[in-house]
Amino acid sequence: MVGIKSYGAYIPRYRMNHNTLFMAVAFLGSFPAPGENAIANHDEDTLTMAVAAGIDCLSGVKREMVDGLYLATTSQPYMVRQNSALMATALDLKADIRTADFIGSTKSGTTALLSALDSAKGDTSSNVLVCASDCRLSKPGSPQESLYGDGAASLLVGNEDLIATLEGAHSVSYDFPDRWRASGEKFEHAWEDRFIRDSGYGQFIAEVISGLLKKCSLSIKDFARIVYPGLYAREHGAIAKRLGADPSQLQDTLLSSVGDTGSASPLMMFVAALEDAKPGDRILVASFGDGGDAMSFQVTDKIKGLADRRAVKKHMASKKDLASYEKYLAFRNLAPMDLGMRGEISIKTPMSALFRERKVILSLCGSKCQKCGTPQYPYQRVCVNPDCGAIDQMEEYRFSDKNGVLFTYTGDNLAASIDPPSVYGVVDFDGGGRFWFDLTDCDLDSVKVGMPVEMTFRKRYVDESSGVHGYSWKAAPVRA
C-alpha cells in the first residue's frame, strides 16, 4: 500500500486585491473578477516557497528519513542546475537521495506525485518529498496577471504510516497549446480563453476523472471531496454537474483568495481537503495542463496523529495587503527601480566557495561544541565559548529549524533595497547560538527587541551578469 504520510503548504504573506490591479490596468480594458492574489515577496520565488512548503510538510518528521525530493513547477529559477538538488541542500536532506525536477506543465505537480507513489510502490524510495510551487511572471495588464497567484504545496509519499492511501490513478496527455513559453522567454503566451475553456479545461478534466472512476470501479458520489483546479469559475461548476457530482463535494479552488498557483494548485487544494478530512473519506485529485492526471485517495485513522502545521488554512489567514501595484512591479523587476550607485554593487558568487560552504550558506548549519555544548553559527572549528575554546570537537548543528528571539535590529535607509528600509538584526537562537540576519516579511514599526523569530529560506540576490540566483536564510517574525 502506498500513499501520503504528511502534508504542508506555503502561501506568501502579501495579497494584492484585484481592485488594486484594476485601478492600475483598467485603462487597458482589463476587468479582473473580485478577489485577491497571493504575491511572493521580493525575496521569494518558486524555490523558496517550495522549501517553505517542504519544511511545513516535514513538521514532526525526521529529515534523515527523506530519500527522495521531487520539485514540480513551471517557473523554476534555473534551467541548468537542478532546482530540486538546491532545495535538498536548503532542507538539509542527506546526499544519498533521488532528486528530480518536473517542469513544463501545470500538471507537473500531480505527475511528480504519481512518480513518487510509483517509487514507493517499487520500493526504490520509501519517503519521497514532493513539492509543487509556482511563482509565474505575467505581463503587466495581461489576463494572467489577475489569475495567477503564488503558492506551494508539499506531500510526503511512502508505503507505511499513511494518512491517505492511493486507490488508483489515471492520466491523459494532449499537446494542448493553450499556453506556451519558449526557452529564453520571460512571459507566457496564451490562446483565446474560450478555446482553452471549451476544448481543453472543460474536456480533459471530465475525461481523466471518468477514466479514473472506470478503472477503480467507483462512482463520483463515493468521494467526500473532489479536487481539480478552477481556471474558470462557472466552468468549474459545470464540469462537476456533467460528472454527476454535487456542488458540496467540490473543494474550494482558492482562485479568489490565492489565485491560480499553476503546478501547485491541485496539490494545495488537496492539502486543504486533507486538513478537513475524516478517516474513511475518499478524495479525488485531478489536474489540468496538457491533459491531466487523476488520483483517488482514501483517508486513514492516522490523519488524527499528525503534528501541528500551517498548511493552507493558517497561511491563508496570515496575510498583509500589498496596496501598491507599482511595488509589485518593482518586486518582480518589471519596472526596474533606481537603487542608486550603491545598488549597483553586486555580489559575485564564487561557485567553488558556495559548494564548499553549502552547509553554512544554504542549509543554515553551524556547529555544536561536543565539549561545552555551545551551538554556534556559522560552523566554527575553534569553540566560541571563551571558557571552552576546544579545537575540532564540533558536531554539525542545524539552525534552520530553530526559532529565536530578536536581540537587536534596525531599519536601514542607506542600504540599497527594493523595499526600503532594509530591516536586519541579531538573532539569539533558542537553545543557544547568535548571528545577524536580514529580516523579512515584517514592517519596521512592528519589530521589537525580544520578538520571537523563525528562519526562512529566501532569494538574496539575482546577479544578471552571471545568471546567478543567490539564496540564504533570513529571519522573520513567527508567522501566526
Partner 1 sequence: MAEGIKDKVAIIGMGCTKFGELWDKSAEDLMVDAFKECMEDAGIEKKDIGAAWFGVHFEEQSVGKGATPLSLTLKLPFIPVTRTENFCATGTEAFRGACYGVASGAYDIALALGVEKLKDTGYGGLPGGPSLMGTKNALIMPKLTAPGAFAMLATRYFSVYGLNPEEGKSMLAKVSVKSHYNGARNPKAHLRREVTEEQIIKAPIIAWPLGLFDCCGVSDGSAAAIVTRADMAKKFRPDPIHVKALQIALSSGEELMYTKWDGAHVETTSRGAKSAYEEAGVKNPREEISMAEVHDCFSITEAVTMEDLQFSPRGKVKEDIEAGRFNLDGPQPVQPDGGLKCFGHPIGASGLRMLYEMYKQLQGKVQLPERQIKNPKLGLTHNLGGFPPMNIVSIAIIGL
Q: Which of 103, 168, 421, 463 binds partner 1 (CB under 8 A)?
A: 421
Is 457 a binding residue for partner 1 by CB under 8 A? The answer is: no
Question: Residue count at the site for partner 1 (CB under 8 A)?
Answer: 51
Q: Taking the chain, what is the end-to-end CA distance rounded to the nearest angstrom?
A: 36
Grid coordinates belonging to 59: 513538521
Strand ranges inside 12-109, DSSP E: 14-17, 36-39, 68-73, 98-103
Least CB distance to partner 1 at residue 410 (A): 4
User: In terms of CB distance, is 180 or 436 closer to partner 1?
Assistant: 436
460 binds partner 1 (CB under 8 A): yes
Contact between 181 and partner 1 by CB under 8 A: the answer reads: no
* 378 part of the interface to partner 1, by CB under 8 A: yes
Does 435 participate in binding partner 1 (rule CB under 8 A)? Answer: yes
Q: What does the alpha-carbon distance between residue 168 and residue 172 come to, in Å, rounded to a whole number? A: 14
In 3D space, the residue among 356, 221, 206 whose CA is nearest the CA of residue 286 turns out to be 206
The alpha carbon of residue 249 and the mean position of all alpha carbons in its chain are separated, in whole angstroms, by 26
Q: Which stretch binds partner 1 (CB under 8 A): 79-87, 238-246, 296-304, 415-423?
A: 415-423
Ramachandran class of 217: left when φ > 0, alpha when ψ lies in -120 to 50, beta otherwise:
left
Q: How far is the CB of 175 from partner 1 (least distance, A)?
A: 42
Distance, CA of 244 to CA of 221 (rounded, Å): 8
CA–CA distance, 51 with 9 (Å, rounded to integer): 10
**329 or 384: CB nearest partner 1:** 384
Give the DSSP per-residue string, 28-43.
GT--PPS-EEEE--TT
What's the min distance (Å) between Cβ of 80 and partner 1? 21
393 is a site residue for partner 1 (CB under 8 A): no
Helix or strand or coil: residue 249? Answer: helix
CB-wise, 1 or 414, nearer to partner 1?
414
Applying the rule CB under 8 A, the residues between 324 and 363 that interact with partner 1 are: 340-342, 345, 347, 349-350, 353-354, 357, 360-361
Q: How far is the CB of 44 from partner 1 (least distance, A)?
A: 17
List Cα–Cα distances, 459 to 331, 412, 426, 438, in angstroms: 12, 19, 19, 11
Residue among 18 and 474 whose Cβ is closer to partner 1: 474
Q: What is the DSSP letter of 248?
A: G
Q: Is 407 in the site for partner 1 (CB under 8 A)?
A: yes
Q: Is position 414 an interface residue for partner 1 (rule: CB under 8 A)?
A: yes
Q: Can you give the binding site for partner 1, defined by CB under 8 A?
A: 340-342, 345, 347, 349-350, 353-354, 357, 360-361, 374, 376-378, 380, 384-386, 407-417, 421-422, 424-426, 428, 432-438, 444, 449-450, 460, 470, 472-473
